């Protein structure tokens, strides 16, 4: 009984004081951040830039500014292909994933790989994600082939993303570099990789997919805001290395 009185007189007041000085923040314990993984190539890795300027990091900052708790993991690797992504996705899936964004294929097109082979690799990645992380939401980011590959190849390559998204029942981002590709002011001097401004446009275009906003017809993302180069001359340009 004496110990109980000591506890009541000493321990409880100390605990109450600690709560007063260090109060729990609202939602701190009941809202774990959404874990978003981007599997991609140099376009995702932020080639030539500080990692903090790559669009996955910019997207995380934009989401937090809008009150959405998110942890974005950048699994971009310069030079990666759909085959490379298929080989390394198991390692990436070791930790929990809430949303998985598949942004590969640009280097496949640059190398002239048959679109059907790219499609098969991307299908394999989606299947692995579903097997390892069955509750994960999957988004497939579309890519375009460079003009020098010819019209027939470009059409077949662009079509594989729409067909695969429909086949596997995943959401589709029509073109990762929408409003960025071919715009000199939004790319590095190589004309291939987005610069800091370009990555901001990509991140802004992706926001609707993570904030539950209207993405337009057929999954189209919202257009970039003026002031980020969205009003400059457009073109599909080249693809990543």
Active site positions, annotated: 42, 190, 193
Q: Measuring CA to CA, which residue among 136, 106, 140, 135 is closest to residue 123?
A: 140
Is beta strand 99-103 parallel, antiparallel or unpaired with respect to 34-40? parallel
Q: Measuring CA to CA, which residue among 145, 175, 174, 153 is closest to residue 237?
A: 145
Q: Measuring CA to CA, which residue among 202, 201, 182 is closest to residue 192?
A: 182
Q: Which residues pair with 171 in a beta bridge?
A: 139
Q: Which residues pair with 103 in a beta bridge?
A: 40
Separation of alpha carbons 20 and 15, rounded Å: 9
What is the rounded (10 degree) CA torsion for 177, 178, 182, 188?
-40
Q: What tokens were used for 173?
A: 């981002």
């Amino acid at each position: 009984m004496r110990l109980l009185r000591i506890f009541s007189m000493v321990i409880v007041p100390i605990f109450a004081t600690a709560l007063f000085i260090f109060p729990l923040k609202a939602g701190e314990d009941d809202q774990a951040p959404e874990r978003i993984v981007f599997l991609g190539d140099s376009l995702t890795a932020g080639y030539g830039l500080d990692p903090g300027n790559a669009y996955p990091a910019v997207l995380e900052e934009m989401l937090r500014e809008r009150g959405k708790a998110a942890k974005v993991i950048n699994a971009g690797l310069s030079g990666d292909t759909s085959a490379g992504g298929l080989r390394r996705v198991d390692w990436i899936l070791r930790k929990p994933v809430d949303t998985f964004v598949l942004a590969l294929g640009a280097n496949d097109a640059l190398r002239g790989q048959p679109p059907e082979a790219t499609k098969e690799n991307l299908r394999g990645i989606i299947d692995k994600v579903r097997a390892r992380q069955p509750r994960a939401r999957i988004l497939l980011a579309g890519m375009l082939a460079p003009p020098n590959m010819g019209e027939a190849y470009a059409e077949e390559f662009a079509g594989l993303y729409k067909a695969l998204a429909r086949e596997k029942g995943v959401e589709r981002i029509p073109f990762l570099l929408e409003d960025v590709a071919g715009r000199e002011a939004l790319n590095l001097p190589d004309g291939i990789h987005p610069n800091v401004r370009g990555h901001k446009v990509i991140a802004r275009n992706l926001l609707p997919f993570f904030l539950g906003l209207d993405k337009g017809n057929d999954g189209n993302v919202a257009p970039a805001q003026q002031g980020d180069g969205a009003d400059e001359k457009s073109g599909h340009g080249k693809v990543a290395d």
